[in-house]
Amino acid sequence: MDLSNSNTAKNLADAFAGESMANRKYLFFAEVTRHLGMTELSKLFRETANQETEHAFAHFRLMHPELVVNDIASLSQEEKKAIATRCLELAIEGETYEYTIMYPGFTEVARADRDEKAVVEFEAQQVESREHAQIFRKAAHNFGLLTPIEHHHARQYAEALQSLDGVAPVQKAKSGDPATQKWICRQCSMIYDPVVGDPDSGIAPGTPFEAIADDWYCPICGATKKTFVPYEEAVAA
């Protein structure tokens, strides 16, 4: 579908919002009627909510065709990462909008209306949205960390394959310079690069591994600093 027509794009977004709201509303009604002992009515609301979800999904697929997966087996690991990364980007965008614009604005209006219950609710949601955005940013960061890990694994397998054919192993060496010496986690193969650091954990770029506090842990698997060993890189022929 051609979404170059801005009106169609807006209508799809509005339809998605409407179906999504109907889903949550009917689930709420299902809970209310369940507590009232009206089992069949609660079941009806829940079934209808599920149908509204499918309607919302259909709209969202048209809004974001880049996220539509028809044949998972045909996707490369990079393509899978690209799709997951896009999901995280959209999640971060939504949560950031909520805590920077939407809820602060709603809070001010509620305060002007002297509706203290609404003020408390909006402020709580603002904090939660900020936390969600941070979690999604962390997940996106971890996707970036996985790339050198997989490169390392691929190189190991390639060297193992070559050794089966009688090819001498590639010579490796440590950097020797703390400012550039990388360290690798023996548990998950996460590679710490001092040039990049680990900003999400408060480790600034340019921080040698030895200068990191002992209570630092692997951002991927949570292993302690002691789990890391110097990373030996292939020596150029």
Q: Where do we find the tokens 């023996």? A: 186
Tell me, what's the pLDDT at 162? Answer: 66
Q: What is the value of pTM for the model shown? A: 0.55
Q: 148 near 155, Cβ under 8 Å?
A: no
Q: Could you tell me the end-to-end alpha-carbon distance of the chain, in angstroms, rounded to an integer?
A: 52
The 3-state DSSP class for residue 229 equals: strand
Q: 228 near 216, Cβ under 8 Å?
A: no
Q: Is 123 exposed, middle or buried (0-12, 13-18, 19+ CB in 10 A)?
A: middle
Tell me, what's the pLDDT at 40? Answer: 94
**CA distances, 236 to each of 21, 31, 168, 180 (Å):** 58, 65, 14, 16
Task: Give me the tens of pLDDT residue by residue for the chain, a chain 237 residues long.
Answer: 555 567 888 888 999 999 999 999 999 999 999 999 999 999 999 999 999 999 999 999 989 999 999 899 999 888 888 898 888 888 888 888 787 888 788 888 888 888 888 888 888 888 887 777 776 666 666 666 666 666 666 666 666 666 666 665 555 556 678 898 999 888 878 889 999 899 888 899 999 999 999 999 888 778 899 999 888 876 544
Tell me, what's the pLDDT at 171? Answer: 57
Tell me, what's the pLDDT at 170? Answer: 53
> In 112-153, where do the E strands start and end?
none
Tell me, what's the pLDDT at 39? Answer: 94
Work out whether the CA dihedral 176, 178, 182, 183 comes out positive or negative. Answer: positive
Q: 60 near 86, Cβ under 8 Å?
A: no
Beta-carbon-side half-sphere exposure of residue 94 (alpha carbons within 13 Å): 10
Q: 99 near 133, Cβ under 8 Å?
A: yes
